[in-house]
């Protein structure tokens, strides 16, 4: 089930009614859990078994990890949990990828090996709920939080439908305590939640799907050399599409949860206004970048064990972060490019005084905007590898963008170019002027009539665009 569907609207209305009826808190939680399974089953019902398996194993393993005093048994329990969670993830998400690479390697060294191609269906959101349960067992191993007492609360923590399929990636202390006491949305929370849901749907349906996705698909799905203008417009279109699509999902998820009385963590903070790449990853997919920092980068040494170790930890984290996004070497290159950018930034930072660097990174004047624009342009180069299915198409796009290949014929219409030329600069400028504030803060400062006009415009444009029906991009991850 997707947020941008009439089915979800009916589902959500039923959930709001049930959640506000005079049932016991336990009954309401059971309703939420059953609704979450129904929400997930709309894609492929059998995969609910994976959710159950992951939930049950990690609930009991987490308790055992917290109470176990024997170091060997404790490590063994952690290994079993990691093998169970990562094993399922590797099989469903990377099974075909690993087999294809093994076959390529075998044939390269002289073995004639041609196995049957496996038919593995990727469960929606497996990367997200795997990381959600992994952080629980790792925290139990480190005793950084207490185990969840109620199996119902833990099950709801894992499967709560707003964040289940594409995040935000939540941690137990962020959500479990909210299930322990009765919650319902206040009038303010309800209005804020509905506004965020409307805004998220507008970002996805009107801007990402109706305005930008067609241009991005036309450019990246073409096998031809393109003029530089068409290539850049296609990349900018995808840059806007992936932000609006994914941030739109996160905004919807936060809004839906808020309408039920729950608070989810922020996942985007105007990333296209980032000054530098460490700032970008503090603003883009915040819950993933913080997960990678706490459970991968810091355990690898972080910045505590010398410069070489820091550079190593940065690159490994970004390479694995790239691979998390998809079973294709192009995603690894995408992550590697971000790793190189972070290397370059650290190299420059280490050779400047900390005060001068902080001033540069928090400069809100036009010189700061220049650095933000440079960051945005470099990020767009990485999107070429993220969106392209093959390295051949990636290099072809880069050659077109930088004028190395000049014999391409125009592909895009004037209208498509104008749409991107208007929307993308608007997004970048909006991010810049909003970089230190939040959308709800701005909404609360508006008069009731001006907010009503803006909100009505969002709704009217949604009605004009109608139901897009297309899945969110990050569902495939």
pLDDT one-digit tens code per residue, 286-321:
999 999 999 999 998 877 877 888 899 999 999 999
Same domain, 202 and 289: yes
pTM, entire model = 0.90
Burial label, 191 (beta-carbon count in 10 A; 0-12, 13-18, 19+): middle
Mark which of 142, 168, 183 sits at the end of a domain: 183
Burial 354-387 (b: 16+ CB within 10 A, else e): eeebeebbeeeeeebbebbeebbebbbbbbbbbb
Residue 11 lies in a domain: no
Q: What is the pLDDT of residue 155?
A: 93
Q: How much is the CA Rg of the chain, to the nearest whole Å?
A: 23
Contact at 8 Å (CB) between 438 and 256? no
357, pLDDT greater than 60 = no
User: Is the domain of 93 the same as that of 193?
Assistant: no
Residue 139 has pLDDT above 60, yes or no: yes
**What is the structure's pLDDT at 235?**
96
Q: Region 133-139: what's the mean pLDDT?
A: 89
pLDDT band at 467; cut points 50, 70, 90: low
- 138 and 218 housed in the same domain: no
Note the pLDDT tens digit of each residue in 232-268.
999 999 999 999 999 999 999 999 999 999 999 999 9
- Give the model's pLDDT for residue 127: 82
Do residues 227 and 348 share a domain?
A: yes
The predicted pLDDT at position 415 comes to: 94
One domain for residues 202 and 270: yes
Which of 183, 200, 233 terminates a domain? The answer is 183
Does residue 105 sit in the same domain as residue 228?
Answer: no
In 3D space, the residue among 47, 84, 93, 90 whose CA is nearest the CA of residue 62 turns out to be: 84
Do both 210 and 179 map to the same domain?
no
Mean pLDDT of the chain: 87
Query: Based on the domain organization, do 222 and 128 belong to the same domain?
Result: no
Q: State the total domains in the chain.
A: 2
pLDDT > 70: percent of the chain: 92
Could you list the residue range(s) of the whole structural domain that residue 282 is in?
189-476
282 plus 201 within the same structural domain: yes
| CB of 142 closer than 8 Å to CB of 81 | no
**173 shares a domain with 304:** no
- Inside any domain, residue 2: no
pLDDT band at residue 351 using 50, 70 and 90 as cut-offs: confident
Is residue 348 included in any domain, yes or no?
Answer: yes
Residues classed as catalytic: 325
Which of 51-60, 81-90, 353-362 is least confident? Answer: 353-362
* Per-residue pLDDT at 475: 61
Domain shared by 446 and 432, yes or no: yes
- Domain boundary residue, one of 183, 215, 245: 183
Residue 351 located in a structural domain: yes
């Amino acid at each position: 089930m997707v947020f941008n569907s009439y089915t979800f609207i009916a589902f959500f209305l039923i959930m709001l009614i049930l959640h506000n009826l005079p049932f016991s808190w336990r009954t309401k939680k059971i309703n939420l859990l059953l609704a979450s399974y129904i929400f997930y089953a709309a894609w492929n019902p059998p995969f609910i078994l994976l959710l159950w398996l992951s939930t049950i194993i990690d609930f009991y393993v987490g308790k055992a990890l917290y109470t176990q005093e024997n170091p060997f048994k404790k490590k063994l329990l952690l290994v079993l949990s990691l093998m169970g969670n990562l094993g399922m993830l590797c099989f469903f998400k990377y099974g075909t990828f690993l087999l294809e690479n093994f076959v390529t390697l075998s044939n390269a060294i002289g073995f004639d090996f041609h196995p049957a191609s496996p038919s593995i269906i990727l469960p929606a959101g497996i990367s997200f709920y795997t990381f959600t349960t992994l952080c629980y067992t790792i925290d139990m191993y480190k005793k950084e939080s207490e185990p969840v007492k109620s199996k119902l609360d833990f099950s709801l923590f894992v499967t709560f439908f707003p964040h289940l399929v594409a995040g935000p990636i939540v941690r137990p202390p962020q959500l479990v305590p909210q299930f322990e006491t009765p919650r319902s949305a206040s009038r303010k929370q309800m209005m804020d939640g509905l506004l965020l849901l409307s805004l998220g749907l507008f970002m996805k349906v009107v801007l990402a799907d109706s305005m930008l996705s067609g241009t991005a698909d036309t450019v990246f799905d073409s096998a031809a050399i393109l003029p530089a203008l068409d290539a850049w417009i296609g990349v900018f279109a995808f840059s806007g599409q992936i932000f609006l699509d994914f941030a739109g999902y996160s905004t919807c998820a936060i809004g839906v949860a808020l309408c039920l009385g729950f608070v989810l963590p922020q996942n985007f903070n105007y990333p296209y206004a980032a000054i530098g790449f460490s700032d970008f990853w503090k603003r883009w997919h915040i819950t993933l970048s913080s997960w990678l920092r706490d459970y991968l980068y810091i355990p690898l040494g972080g910045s505590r064990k010398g410069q070489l170790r820091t550079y190593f930890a940065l690159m490994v984290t970004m390479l694995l972060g790239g691979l998390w996004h998809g079973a294709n070497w192009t995603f690894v290159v995408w992550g590697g490019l971000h790793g190189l950018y972070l290397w370059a930034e650290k190299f420059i930072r280490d050779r400047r005084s900390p005060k001068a660097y902080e001033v540069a990174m928090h400069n809100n004047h036009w010189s700061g905007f220049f650095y933000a624009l440079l960051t945005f342009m470099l990020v767009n180069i990485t999107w070429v590898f993220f969106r392209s299915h093959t390295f051949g198409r990636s290099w072809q796009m880069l050659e077109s963008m930088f004028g190395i290949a000049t014999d391409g014929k125009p592909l895009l219409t004037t209208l498509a170019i104008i749409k991107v030329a208007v929307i993308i600069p608007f997004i970048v400028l909006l991010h810049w002027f909003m970089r230190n504030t939040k959308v709800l803060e701005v909404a609360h400062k508006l008069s009731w009539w001006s907010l009503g006009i803006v909100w009505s415009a969002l709704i009217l444009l949604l009605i004009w665009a109608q139901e897009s029906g297309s899945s969110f991009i990050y569902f495939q991850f």
